[in-house]
Amino acid sequence: MPITKPVIKTRIEAKKRKWKLFDLKELIYYKDLFYFFVLRDITVLYKQTILGLLWAIVNPLFQMVIFSIVFGQLAQISSDGIPYPVFSFTAILPFNYFSQSLSGAANSLVGNTSVLTKVYFPRILIPLTPVFSKLADFLIAFLILIIMMVFYQIVPTINLVFLPLLILLMILSSMGIGMWLSSLAIQYRDVKFAMGFITTLLMYAAPVVFPASLIAEKFGYNYYLLYGLYPMAGVIEGFRSSLLGFTPMPWDLIGMGSISAIIFFITGAYYFNKTERIFADVA
């Protein structure tokens, strides 16, 4: 009588683990890949262009000229005693980084669908790539701001030591909102078409062409504080205070913006991790 072997059934289950923002060990392991992504993003953007990296200077300079003519000369908007060209350029600098990072992050997963379905790597690297690659444009345009400050004989005050904190807040805000937009854009392609409208709305909502103090004058301090929940409000006013020194540091705006930036970052990371498992299916 033949001996039958017992049937052994194996059940495979996902490992249960506590949720966390990022797997730092995994991100460190893939740091070289992230470096390649960032470098590729910088080089591809200006490849086969005549001006190349000079576009990082031309765009904000053109915006500054338009804003200075329309809002500085025609509309006579207050600039808190600061020459309007440098007043507007100091705001254009961080905001352009913010808007370009969001646009890049929103389209990042959609633009890399072929990679998502073929090989494994931490998907979070894709929306984080434009957040860090756009720092190249930011630094190049920052040199023009230094030249303008020398031209207008503006000497920074001790508040300059807070500039790294403001840059960190700017990056944190871009990362948080960028994770939200990238996750939404791969599921709902409407986000891609709405980005032009969204960035324009965010620009005019930010104190780029007007000082944030105008909000307090028109609507009162409580609304001014609520306005600070828009992270770029504190960043832009902080840039003006730390670099130009005409006004005190807006710690109330920066504090409110820090709270909302942290919330955007935590919820963005949570939503990204929650929806990451369906990226390959909907790509």
Residue 5 pLDDT exceeds 70: no
Q: Is residue 6 part of a domain?
A: no
Q: Is residue 20 part of a domain?
A: no
Domain total for the chain? Answer: 1
Flag the least confident range among 50-59, 131-140, 157-166: 50-59
Phi, psi (deg, nearest 5) at residue 8: -100, 120
pLDDT confidence tier of residue 236, bands split at 50, 70 and 90: very high
Q: What integer pLDDT is reported at residue 116 of this predicted model?
A: 76
What letter does residue 158 receive in the DSSP assignment? Answer: G
pLDDT confidence tier of residue 52, bands split at 50, 70 and 90: low
Average pLDDT across the chain, whole number: 87
Query: What is the per-residue pLDDT across 187-212, written as a single tens digit (0 to 9) for each?
Result: 888 888 888 889 999 999 999 999 99
Of all residues in the chain, the percent with pLDDT exceeding 70 is 89
Q: Is residue 87 part of a domain?
A: yes
Mean pLDDT, to the nearest integer, of 41-48?
A: 78
Of residues 269 and 53, which shows the higher confidence score? 269
Alpha-carbon gap, residue 83 to 72, rounded angstroms: 9
Q: Is residue 10 part of a domain?
A: no
Q: Which residues contact 211 (CB under 8 A, 6 or more apart)?
A: 78, 79, 80, 237, 247
Q: Is residue 19 part of a domain?
A: no
Q: Domain residues for 64?
A: 25-282
Flag the least confident range among 26-35, 42-51, 167-176: 42-51
**Total-model pTM:** 0.88
Q: Is residue 113 part of a domain?
A: yes
Q: What integer pLDDT is reported at residue 4 of this predicted model?
A: 57
Alpha-carbon gap, residue 234 to 252, rounded angstroms: 8
pLDDT confidence tier of residue 3, bands split at 50, 70 and 90: low
The full 3-state SS of 46-102, as one line of letters, equals CCCCCCHHHHHHHHHHHHHHHHHHHHHHHCCCCCCCCCHHHHHHHHHHHHHHHHHHH
Do the beta carbons of residue 148 and residue 85 sit within 8 Å? Answer: yes
Distance of CA 185 to the CA centre of its chain: 16
Q: Is residue 228 part of a domain?
A: yes
Query: What is the per-residue pLDDT across 213-229, written as a single tens digit (0 to 9) for each?
Result: 999 999 999 999 999 99
Q: Is residue 186 part of a domain?
A: yes
Query: What is the per-residue pLDDT across 99-134, written as a single tens digit (0 to 9) for each?
Result: 999 999 998 888 877 777 777 888 899 999 999 999
